[in-house]
């Protein structure tokens, strides 16, 4: 299963959700891959404990190879196998992000490489689950991920502005589905930073549900443990396996795999 975690608003927890769901998947015995397409590289640092170096093989190298192949002829290797890194956690792997993604974007767009990630993932073998972290904007890389994915998860952080932007975001996903990826499904809206005792978050969530939007039942509470887990580069189920937040992520994972 290929999932993309996408929202055009920054700070909604995309990287945290990506890495924690992937960590649970790996603990469940599934060989799991995270692809970090956000130039900020938060998922990369969360899982590897460091920023990438100049010598590291990253997703940027894959896209550079896509441009090279178009200039010098084809090739049968997808390129993704060469940029996969082991993390310290069993069954969990990551393709790191890199700052070179930014200058590559215009060249990739002009040469119509928007389907290359999907083609490469369809060739990639040996993984039971793939999670893609995306930049907080509908650009070449987030569109590539939406085209390559089977399901889309949308984080929502209980903010009035986030609610107003949600419809635009869902329309953008629908357009990608219509134009490029008929198999893409919006799997659900993940309510993050949910304070159940506060009136506004509860009201916003109730309104989304009343409007028929696919709000997932499992919701994620705010906690300092999230920042702590970022600091030590350990997903919550490894850092605080018995904490309430880890249980919430397990409930979210279970809901996504309930069928």
pLDDT higher than 90, residue 202:
no
Burial (0-12, 13-18, 19+ Cβ within 10 Å), 76 = exposed
Any idea which fold 2-256 has? Answer: Rossmann fold (3.40.50)
What's the token pair of residue 17?
Answer: 């959700």
The Cα–Cα gap between 1 and 87 comes to 20
Reported as type and span, the H/E element at residue 168 is helix 160-179
Q: What percent of the chain has pLDDT over 90?
A: 80
Sign of CA dihedral 194, 200, 206, 211: negative
Tokens 């890199």 belong to which residue? 98
pLDDT at 74 over 90: no
SS3 for 34?
strand
Q: What is the DSSP letter of 57?
A: -
pLDDT surpassing 60 at residue 71: no
- The arithmetic mean of pLDDT across residues 183-188, rounded, is 95
What does the block give as tokens for 258? 């309930």
Q: How high is the pLDDT of residue 259?
A: 66
Q: Residue 200 has what pLDDT?
A: 82
**Low-confidence winner among 64-68, 69-73, 101-105, 238-242 (lowest mean pLDDT):** 69-73
Q: How far apart are CA 97 and CA 61, in angstroms?
A: 10
Contact 201, 194 (CB under 8 A): yes
What's the Cα-to-Cα distance from 37 to each of 22, 115, 204, rounded to whole Å?
A: 15, 15, 30
Find all residues with CB under 8 Å of 183, minimum gap 6, and list them.
150
Lay out the sheet containing 85-86: strands in order across.
85-86, 92-95, 32-36, 129-133, 2-5, 151-156, 185-191
Confidence of residue 75 (pLDDT cuts 50, 70, 90): very low
Find out whether 92 and 233 touch, Cβ atoms under 8 Å.
no
């Amino acid at each position: 299963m290929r999932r993309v975690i996408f929202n055009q608003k920054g700070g909604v927890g995309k990287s945290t959700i990506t890495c924690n769901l992937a960590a649970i998947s790996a603990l469940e015995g599934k060989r799991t891959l995270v692809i970090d397409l956000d130039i900020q590289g938060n998922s990369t640092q969360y899982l590897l404990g460091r920023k990438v170096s100049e010598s590291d093989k990253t997703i940027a190298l894959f896209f550079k190879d896509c441009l090279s192949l178009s200039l010098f002829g084809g090739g049968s290797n997808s390129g993704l196998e060469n940029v996969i890194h082991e993390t310290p956690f069993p069954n969990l792997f990551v393709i790191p992000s890199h700052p070179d993604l930014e200058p590559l974007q215009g060249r990739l767009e002009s040469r119509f490489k928007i389907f290359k990630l999907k083609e490469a993932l369809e060739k990639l073998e040996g993984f039971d689950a793939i999670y893609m972290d995306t930049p907080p904007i509908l650009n070449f890389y987030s569109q590539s991920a939406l085209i390559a994915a089977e399901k889309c998860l949308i984080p929502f952080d209980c903010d009035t502005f986030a609610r107003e932007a949600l419809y635009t975001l869902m329309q953008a996903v629908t357009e990608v589905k219509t134009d490029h990826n008929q198999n893409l499904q919006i799997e659900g809206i993940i309510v993050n930073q949910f304070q159940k005792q506060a009136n506004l978050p509860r009201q916003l969530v109730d309104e989304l549900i009343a409007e028929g939007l696919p709000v997932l039942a499992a919701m994620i509470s705010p906690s300092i443990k999230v920042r702590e887990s970022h600091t030590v580069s350990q997903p919550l189920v490894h850092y605080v396996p018995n904490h309430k937040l880890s249980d919430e992520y397990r409930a979210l994972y279970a809901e996504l795999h309930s069928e």
